[in-house]
Structure 1
Amino acid sequence: MTDADRPAAKVLVVEDDRELGPLLLRLFRGAGYEPDLAPDGQAGLHLALTRRYDAMILDRGLPAIEGLDLLGRLRRSGFTAPVLVLTALGTVTDRVTGLDSGAEDYLVKPFEVDELLARVRALLRRRSDAGERLAVGAGTFDLIARTVSGPDGSVVALSGRESDLLRLLAMNPARAFTREELLGQVFPEGSSVALVDTYVHYLRRKLGAAAVSTVRGVGYRLGRR
């Protein structure tokens, strides 16, 4: 798949500055990304857990939930998108703390636009190189093409929602999700957990009954190999 064929990367900007936030939105749109803006930590937490993002730009001095506290909560919840901390806090100790808290990169304000965009491209490139494929049972799940390839050479195409559901399960293979969690993270506009059951059925029909395991009293998890 060529770069021209890839869907636009989705970037979450968590920034409370009323001028800088909209400026970053325009900057990322102009660079070909699909950005969302969260004006505080609570909004950032909600968006990050209910939508899929390829990268996050995160300020530290946020209202509601401080930036590194937000990052810690997201990492513990299974959020795996690369994070670039963009902040005025620029001492060596600040940088080390940010990176040790789970960020992949750290850039101090004021910043050069070209450098910010270059760092985001590097984050996305590393994520693409390392994370386009995930193991699903004996098969391989291509996150970009939305296909599952079997050891016998078979290829199964998934819909967007099927792919989003399998992606969440495959990126957290040891975790069992409740139906409510899956509804909120994969189908945020859905009103009933029956929607989750429907898409689990679709995945099992396409990939086999063992693709998704039912965990009694909890919900669903990736099928065991």
Structure 2
Amino acid sequence: MEFSHFHREGCRGDGVSAWESDAMTDAARPAAKVLVVEDDRELGPLLLRLFRGAGYAGDLAPDGQAGLHLALTRAYDLMILDRGLPAIEGLDLLGRLRRSGVTVPALVLTALGTVADRVAGLDGGAEDYLVKPFEVEELLARARVLLRRRDASAQRLAVGGAAFDLISRTVAYPDGSLVALSGRESDLLRLLAQHPARAFTREEILARVFPDASGVALVDTYVHYLRRKLGAEAVATVRGVGYRLGPG
């Protein structure tokens, strides 16, 4: 079903559209979080309903500035991004996120469909590019592919000589010992392990790991928790900056 034909396809008697009914049967990961950055007042909410109906959690940003804020302060598994956005253009937004260390897979969804447009989008940091109008089934299929790729590449991260499993939230050592982490501890270690050479300020960590909290003292508390469980060198203090992953 082509998404631009949504209104002509009609809805079921219970108010659920045909595409939404189909989407509910998709095998989406329940925990996957999608950020939709779309300024069209009709299309944006419909895309959000589509992904939520398919079992994803989701947020909608109506312009580039809002999309930048959400992507920097919350954790997402996938971003659906328009190009012709107000405030910050789509590829400019994507470039800023990549330079900030945000690696969430991005699918550009736009009416700009020439070969040059596609090349610019992929070279600009997008993992996929889909031109409007589009088929709902194809969009969901492409989303699943990007999520599978992300899962395969990011399920385990190196932490010194140990392996950090993002799914089980455990750190496994070569001697067979296993350390379990809490959700917040896991989120903090994930941020540091995904960017092992980068030092984060306490404010950056607070915004990206504890977006609903206030006060950088919370960051220090969880760094202490990680060091207590994984060893004093697990998280290194960078004087005058903040914290980074400890030496391997």
TM-score range, shorter chain: over 0.9
- Number of the residue aligned with 2:19: none
Between structure 1 and structure 2, the one with the greater Rg is 2
**Residue 151, structure 1, aligned to residue 170, structure 2:** no
**Residue 106, structure 1, aligned to residue 129, structure 2:** yes
Over aligned residue pairs, what C-alpha RMSD do you find? 1.0
- Number of the residue aligned with 2:239: 216
Letter in 1 for 2:66: A
Q: CA deviation at 1:179?
A: 0.6
- Number of the residue aligned with 1:197: 220
- Number of the residue aligned with 2:183: 160
- Number of the residue aligned with 1:51: 74
Between 1:184-193 and 1:68-77, the stretch displaced more is 184-193
Check conservation: 2:223, 2:235, Cα contact below 8 A. Answer: yes
Matches within 5 A, 1:1-225: 7-225=30-248
Q: CA deviation at 1:8?
A: 1.6
Letter in 1 for 2:180: A
Between 1:181-190 and 1:111-120, the stretch displaced more is 181-190
Matches of 1:172 and 1:152, distance apart in 2: 25
Q: CA deviation at 1:7?
A: 4.9
Matches of 2:92 and 2:143, distance apart in 1: 22
Alignment deviations for residues 87-116 of structure 1 (CA, whole Å, 9 cap, x no partner): 000000000000000000000000000000
Matches of 1:77 and 1:123, distance apart in 2: 21
Alignment deviations for residues 36-56 of structure 1 (CA, whole Å, 9 cap, x no partner): 111111111111011111110
Secondary structure of 1:17's counterpart equals coil
In the superposition, the TM-score normalised over structure 2's length comes to 0.87
Q: CA deviation at 1:144?
A: 1.5
Matches of 2:167 and 2:51, distance apart in 1: 21
Check conservation: 2:30, 2:57, Cα contact below 8 A. Answer: no
What number of residue pairs does the alignment pair up? 221
Q: CA deviation at 1:199?
A: 0.4
Quick one: percent identity of the two aligned structures? 83
Secondary structure of 1:209's counterpart equals coil
Q: CA deviation at 1:81?
A: 1.1
Matches of 1:47 and 1:58, distance apart in 2: 13
Matches of 1:212 and 1:19, distance apart in 2: 46
Matches of 1:189 and 1:129, distance apart in 2: 29
Secondary structure of 2:240's counterpart equals coil
Matches of 2:88 and 2:194, distance apart in 1: 25
Q: For structure 1, list consecutive stretches of 5 or more residues without a partner in the other structure.
A: none
Matches of 1:185 and 1:69, distance apart in 2: 21
Q: For structure 2, list consecutive stretches of 5 or more residues without a partner in the other structure.
A: 1-26
Alignment deviations for residues 8-44 of structure 1 (CA, whole Å, 9 cap, x no partner): 2011110111111110111001111111111111111
